[in-house]
Amino acid sequence: MAKKPGVLVSAFFLVMGMSGIALGNPPNDGPGCGLGKLAWAETKVSKNNIAPQVMMATTNGTFGSQTFGISSGTSGCTNDGQVWASEKVNVFAAISFDNLAQEMAQGQGEHLTSLATLMGIPADQHPAFFAMTQEKYTTLVQAGEPSPKAVVQAIHDAMVDHPVLAQATTSK
Amino acid sequence: MLNILLIFLALLFLPVGLKAQELPSPYLEELIQQASTGKLHQDRYWHLLLHYRKDFLRGYTSEVDDPGFFLSPNGKTDPEAELQATLTYFFSDTLVGRSKQPAQCAFVARYHWLKEKLHFHESKLFPQPCERFDNWLKELNPASITFIFPSAYMDNPASMFGHSFLRVDREGQTAETRILAYTINYAAEVPPDAGIEFAYKGIFGWYKGFFTTIPYYMKVKEYRDIENRDIWEYRLNFSQEQNHQLLMHAWELGNAYFDYYFFKENCAYHILSLLEVADPDLHLTDQFHFSTIPADTIRLLIRHKGLVKEVSYRPARSTLLKRKRGALEKQEISFLPRLVNDPHQAEQSEFLQLPQKRQTFLLDLASDVLRYKGATDQDMAEDYKANNRSILVKRSQIKIPSAPFHVEPFSLSPEHGHESLRVGEGVGWRNQEIFEEISVRAAYHDLLDPDPGYTQDAQIVLADLRLRHYHRRNQFRVERFTFANVLSLAPIDSLFISPSWKINLGMNTVKTSSCDLCSNGHANAGAGGAVETQVFQREVFFLFGELDANVSDAYDEHHRVGGGVSGGVMATITNNWKWLVSAGYMGYFLGDRSDDIPISVGQRWTLAKNLAFRTTFTHHDRDHEVLAVLHGYF
């Protein structure tokens, strides 16, 4: 929605008609997070650079191509197209940062529930988790502004001091 | 010496890649024999796994275009050779395919199926551990498969018909954690700097299409948050065994690419082919001959009784905004723009006097508005972001969770829509002469077609042919052929400001002072604005500035080019009765210098989901026509 394609450009594209074309940045061997692709065989997953890369992809613009770009050509994927287990929470927090911030302030929501699930917090402790993130909203989001990865760390730290949630962090 | 020569010869005829110590065992011979006797290479399931289609010569050709997908050099066109080569490679640990795994693991669905059909003694095949596949499947942790349809997106020509992909729902997943599931998505890979060649390359198969497994939260963000498209989710009623078959084959497709054809072999087509692998009794892809429109595939799935277990709806952010705004009480409405422009308004006593629940509702809505504006207005994005942060800080200080808000879609789900192929039969009267007309339209929906199931205010007409017989002169003629007629009305209000636009290319029949019925090629484009009212049920008023070009013997110098304005109203009176009225002025300054005051009045009654009746009156300079036509949709 950032920019409408001009009417005449649309005219040319119109005949394309059908859906499913995605603009992406093609590596040699098909899109990233592809099924069974070996494009990342040599990719080193650096703990430090995933979140910034992913963020770059999402904040750069608002066209679908950028979102698609998240998954192509950057690290964070296994050879077989899945998100590295160790980076799951960080990748999710990076992509969903705006939604997470909103839902933390609102004390509920599917992104927040999903984050709690990824962090291994049992379902019966979710209300306590939501209340905690709402309570500490300002601190947590400020921590997360420079890097969404930091918000995950900040949430983790906040849980350690929490009477109920502390258990979920130590049990991991 | 002779022995050595014989071994040398034997090695020559071994399939490429087999090592000497893996001389084919007698067991392989036995399996090949058994497969040949059972005619397994003619089995529908083998054809589904290899994507074989009957070709013109009554042979078979696979739709897969990646040579690495085939184990026989002739595999693309020879199902039997491919089956024998597959069996042969099952006796080897040679790494094959794009994914570089032993054949048993790279082609795990073939292995599974052949094992079942031929009752393998697995120990005689040197079973390979397929850790990568096992880990992949474990990570997917599949419980069910859901067919996902993000609705049409008029502002991106490639997405005008919507998109479709599958979601692999996890074991133990709840409505709230669905976004964590992986998807199986098929899309063409287009270089980011693709220009105008995008169009023909996309149509004629110059791009490669690949399958990807992108987490659903990324897709939701793309469609719901960025492109403002409603998403429909259809949970499929597959058994666990069928889910596994589908996923095993999806894994195999990591070894494959297909040439991408926009109209037929597109996302919707290949997603259907995966469903056929899950349940070979489903005949889905062979229902589509020229084009595969995602919404049509949904109607097809729904027609298979029991296939769709559950339909759910995920509103676009723009839909959510409109519905929430509509739910505001009268005295609350003025708070919204104030909060959006100045978050400190939330500290005013006037606001604080509202019940807590209404305060949270208003703050949440203000945050949604600010996020929408931040995503659509790049220049001011930072300001909107800053205001959103302030609003959310205020919101977090009210220590209650937001109440769930149920969002009704503006248009029903696609299975409620008419089919997209339209056939019409009509009679009319043109300049004191009676005519009969038959018409066929390939796709898809115009503003007067029955509304349910289609994106509001969006028209896409492709390949619409009308044939007429004029009585008095006893003349048959191609009255009109519309190549493409696309129109998007975007009602403007305080929140949503985008242009309306239209484009129309084709030929029609004109009457001028110099020519009675003359063929005329035309190209027309316009841009403008629209507003919405709700006097009857819903009315959209529109105004366009237009450019228009004509090529016809009816005109001096055989052409005319000009511009003008047009305006009108589209009015939904009842669910079944709709009007479309427009009038304009066009002046032509190149070629035949002339002008025209086109007027058109049309109304439609929906008689059934796939049957409608419409009447139209059109007027041009010296040309008047009335037409009554019955439309059936197939």
0.95 exceeded by pTM? no
Q: Token digits for A64?
A: 């679908």
Task: Classify residue B20 by burial, with Cβ atoms within 10 Å: 0-12, 13-18, 19+.
Answer: exposed
Query: Residues B459, B549: one domain?
Result: yes
Write out the H or E segment, with its range, that includes residue B8: helix B2-12
Which is nearest to B287 in space by CA: B298, B277, A16, B278?
B298
As for the ipTM of the complex, it is: 0.88
Residue range B413-442: mean pLDDT, rounded: 96
Would B130 be classed as within a structural domain? Answer: no
Residue of A1, A9, A16, A19 best to disrupt the B interface, most CBs of B under 10 A: A19
Q: How does pLDDT run across B116-163, given as a tens digit for each residue?
A: 999 989 888 888 999 989 988 998 999 999 999 999 888 777 778 889
Q: Does B253 touch chain A (CB under 8 A)?
A: yes
Those residues whose C-beta lies under 8 Å from the C-beta of residue B177, and which sit 6 or more positions away, are A110, A113, A114, A117, B170
The more confident residue out of B375 and B338 is B338
Q: Are residues B390 and B438 in the same domain?
A: no
State yes or no: pLDDT of B234 exceeds 80. yes
Closest partner CB to B180 (pick from A26, A80, A117): A117
Model confidence at A34, pLDDT cuts 50, 70, 90, reads very low
Across the interface, of A13, A30, A64, the residue whose CB is closest to B227 is A64
Q: Are B264 and B379 members of one domain?
A: no
Indicate whether B77 and B172 sit together in one domain.
Answer: no
B184 within some domain: yes
Q: Which residue of A has its CA nearest to B317?
A: A99
In angstroms, rounded to a whole number, what is the distance separating the alpha carbons of residues B193 and A23? 9
- pLDDT value at residue A59: 26
Q: What CA–CA distance (Å, rounded) separates B231 from B158? A: 17
Residue B321 domain flag: no
Same structural domain for residues B355 and B448? no
Establish, for the pair of chains A and B, how many residue pairs have beta carbons separated by less than 8 Å.
279
pLDDT tens column, B531-559: 999 999 999 999 999 999 999 999 999 99
Burial per residue of B239-258, b for 16 or more beta-carbon CB atoms within 10 angstroms, e otherwise: eeebbbbbbbbbbbbbbbbb
**B189 shares its domain with B242:** yes
| Closest B-chain CA to A139 | B393
Contact A22 B392 (CB under 8 A): no
Q: In this structure, is residue B112 part of a structural domain?
A: yes
**Residue B512 lies in domain:** 417-633
* Record: contact A23-B192, CB cut-off 8 A: yes
Within chain B, what is the greatest distance between any pair of CA atoms? 105
- Whose structure tokens read 């366009």? B544
Any A CB within 8 A of B522 CB: no
pLDDT tier at B31 (50, 70, 90 boundaries)? very high
CB proximity under 8 Å: B 80-99 to A: 97-99
For residue range B574-628, what is the model confidence (pLDDT) as tens digits? 999 999 999 999 999 999 999 999 999 999 999 999 999 999 999 998 899 999 9
Q: Do A1 and B228 touch (CB under 8 A)?
A: yes
- Res B326 pLDDT > 50: yes
Higher per-residue pLDDT: B359 or A33: B359
Question: In chain B, which residues have their Cβ closer than 8 Å to the Cβ of A81?
Answer: 136, 212-213, 254
Q: Which of B88, B51, B45 is nearest to B69 (CA)?
A: B51
Domain assignment of residue B491, yes or no: yes
Contacts with A, B 138-157, CB within 8 Å: 139-140, 155-157
pLDDT score, position B236: 97
What's the CATH number where B581 sits?
2.40.160.40
Q: Chain A within 8 Å of B392 (Cβ-Cβ)?
A: yes
Q: Which of B222, B252, B379 to mutate to test the interface with A (most CBs of A within 10 A)?
A: B222
B518-533/B500-510 β-pairing: antiparallel
Question: Domains of chain A: which residue ranges?
Answer: 23-83, 96-172
Cα angle at A116 between A64 and B140, to 5 degrees?
60
* Nearest CA distance, A130 vs chain B (angstrom): 8
